[in-house]
Amino acid sequence: MGRTFAILAAALLLFAGAVWYAQRQPPMPLGYSGLQFSRLTKAASSRTPSLGQGALVVGVEAKSPAAKAAIQPGAVIAAIDSAPVHSADEAATRIGRYRVGETARLTVHDGMGGKPKEIALLFAAAPDPLLTQKYSVYPSRTLAKDPRKLPPMAANAAWSQRIARGASGKPIALKGFGTGRCNGVMPEQWRIIGYVEDGSLLQVAMPGRFQQALIVTINGATPDSIREFLEARFASPVTLSPVRRQPFGFSQVYFGNEKGGTGFVTFRVKDGRLQLWIAAAAAPEADWSLPIAGAVAFGMICGPASNPRDAAMAVTSVSAQCLAGKCQDSDLAASTLATLKLGYVHNAKGENFLINPKRDYWTNGAEGPGYYRQVGGENEKLMPGRLNNAPTAP
């Protein structure tokens, strides 16, 4: 009896010791996913129009758990362990609570349409920077940095606001062009890829990249024809977002297609004609390339100037002719430029540029407040509005 009691007592002591040891062991460290989140942009939301909420994946570290799970930048995280995600901050906070060895089930929209995917994300230990970085006792040379080579926007990151405003104040140079009854302004590398002599269609694009701008007029059509036109033009099924009302009787709808393209259409019915200004871009590049495509679309004109200028129109959203009181329909449609954070300016030589009106306005310029660019060490003041100086055939 005494021997049995001793064995039982020893077992209880061992169990109590194991519990005591387990209670005093530090918990597993917080897990590492390799994901970087940003707010859900309009472009990303348009690729998942039925979602309306979530967090945009803007970065996936190489060889990270997220990379091994085949999560790609541009995807939208809709839910974590079946609980909906409402913002990038929420996604970053919730992902940050998982520990090494734990698994989260992510509901992921990949931006290509169709049903969302359920992906299991197994959290690992964070990589040791001493093992992954190479150090040298020799100082490296200072190199000129590409302003686009910046850290991606991420929830709770101090640099995100700076990137949202723009990394560089250098204006984007535009060249004038004209064909048929239409003309416009576009970046130097862009080319005309389609037009109709009567001015009913003009399409320009950046070669080698899905970045395009169109101005289209369809007689006798209604807004219900927009989906059919987009699917025929881009040869892919299209998903449309809800319609948003714009000033001066215009409306706007965002779209996404199964080829990974996204964009928006600003439209209006006037005198029995459906007028369309279309901007399109590849979904992963939409944050920076779609606004440029939109500015090119709104810079194209295919008809006479027949509208007075409204005082509410931003001086950098219209043509110089509109500032003088004769506005094109494109000038009215270009009120959307305010949301794209872009505007037109020109210099005395007739050269056109795209700027960010809020960021690039200098209050202490050498020639007084205004928009400037640096040329050969000198600051050149730029005037608001664009000059459509390419000839237009009658």
Answer yes or no: do 197 and 311 share one domain: yes
Among 291, 305, 278, 311, CA closest to 392: 305
Answer yes or no: do 99 and 189 share one domain: no
What are the tens digits of pLDDT across the range 246-288? 999 999 999 999 888 999 999 999 999 999 999 999 988 888 8
Answer yes or no: do 84 and 232 share one domain: no
Q: What is the pLDDT of residue 331?
A: 95
Longest dimension (CA), the chain: 115
Q: Is 53 helix (H, G, I), strand (E, B) or coil?
A: coil
Answer yes or no: do 89 and 228 share one domain: no
What CATH number does the domain containing 345 carry?
A: 3.40.1000.10
- Whole-angstrom CA distances from 132 to 67, 68, 123, 152 are 17, 18, 18, 20
Which of 64, 97, 127 is a domain's end point?
Answer: 127
The verdict on residue 116 lying in a domain is: yes
Q: Count how many domains the chain has.
A: 2
Q: What is the pLDDT of residue 241?
A: 93
Answer yes or no: do 231 and 110 share one domain: no
Q: What is the pLDDT of residue 65?
A: 93
The verdict on residue 79 lying in a domain is: yes
What CATH number does the domain containing 57 carry?
A: 2.30.42.10
Cβ atoms of 337 and 295 within 8 Å: the answer is: yes
d(CA 59, CA 91) in angstroms, rounded, equals: 14
Answer yes or no: do 237 and 321 share one domain: yes
Q: Is 93 helix (H, G, I), strand (E, B) or coil?
A: helix
Residue 132 has pLDDT above 70, yes or no: no
Which has more confidence, 17 or 363?
363
Q: What is the pLDDT of residue 246?
A: 93
Q: What is the DSSP string of 241-298?
A: PPPEE-GGG-EEEEEEETTSEEEEEEEEEETTEEEEEEEEEEGGGHHHHHHHHHHHHH
Q: What is the pLDDT of residue 136?
A: 40
Answer yes or no: do 219 and 283 share one domain: yes
Least confident interval from 134-143, 196-205, 306-315, 331-340: 134-143
d(CA 385, CA 18) in angstroms, rounded, equals: 76
The verdict on residue 12 lying in a domain is: no
Residue 21 has pLDDT above 60, yes or no: no
What are the tens digits of pLDDT across the range 355-370? 998 888 888 777 888 8
The verdict on residue 19 lying in a domain is: no
The verdict on residue 132 lying in a domain is: no
From the number of C-beta atoms within 10 Å of its C-beta (0-12, 13-18, 19+), residue 187 rates as middle
Answer yes or no: do 374 and 253 share one domain: yes
Which of 75, 96, 127 is a domain's end point?
Answer: 127
Residue 94 phi, psi (nearest 5): -70, -40
The verdict on residue 7 lying in a domain is: no
Which of 97, 127, 157 is a domain's end point?
Answer: 127
On average, the pLDDT of the chain sits at 81
The two three-digit tokens of residue 185, written as one number: 């302004």
Radius of gyration of the chain (CA): 28
> Which residue pairs from 304-313 have beta carbons closer than 8 angstroms and sit at least 24 positions apart in sequence?
304/328, 307/331, 307/332, 310/248, 312/247
**Residue whose pair of structure tokens reads 């998903």 in the numeric block:** 239
Answer yes or no: do 120 and 177 share one domain: no
Least confident interval from 227-231, 253-257, 282-286, 318-322: 282-286
Answer yes or no: do 176 and 300 share one domain: yes
Which of 14-23, 24-33, 120-129, 134-143 has the highest average model confidence (pLDDT)?
120-129
Buried b (16+ CB within 10 A) or exposed e, 300-321: bbbeebeeebeeebebbbbbbb
Count CB atoms within 10 A of the CB of residue 181. Answer: 19
Answer yes or no: do 95 and 192 share one domain: no
Domain that holds residue 274: 169-384
**Residue whose pair of structure tokens reads 């967090």 in the numeric block:** 55
Answer yes or no: do 189 and 73 share one domain: no
The verdict on residue 393 lying in a domain is: no
Q: What is the pLDDT of residue 46?
A: 67
Mean pLDDT to the nearest integer, 125-144: 47
- Whole-angstrom CA distances from 68 to 60, 61, 103, 175 are 10, 10, 13, 44
- Give 368's Cβ-side CA count (13 Å radius): 1
What are the tens digits of pLDDT across the range 42-92? 767 766 666 667 888 888 888 899 999 999 888 889 899 999 888 888 888
What are the tens digits of pLDDT across the range 147-176? 444 455 555 554 444 444 433 457 899 999
**Residue whose pair of structure tokens reads 């055939």 in the numeric block:** 393
Helix (H) / strand (E) containing 2: helix 2-24
The verdict on residue 380 lying in a domain is: yes
Q: What is the pLDDT of residue 227?
A: 95
The two three-digit tokens of residue 144, written as one number: 């000129």
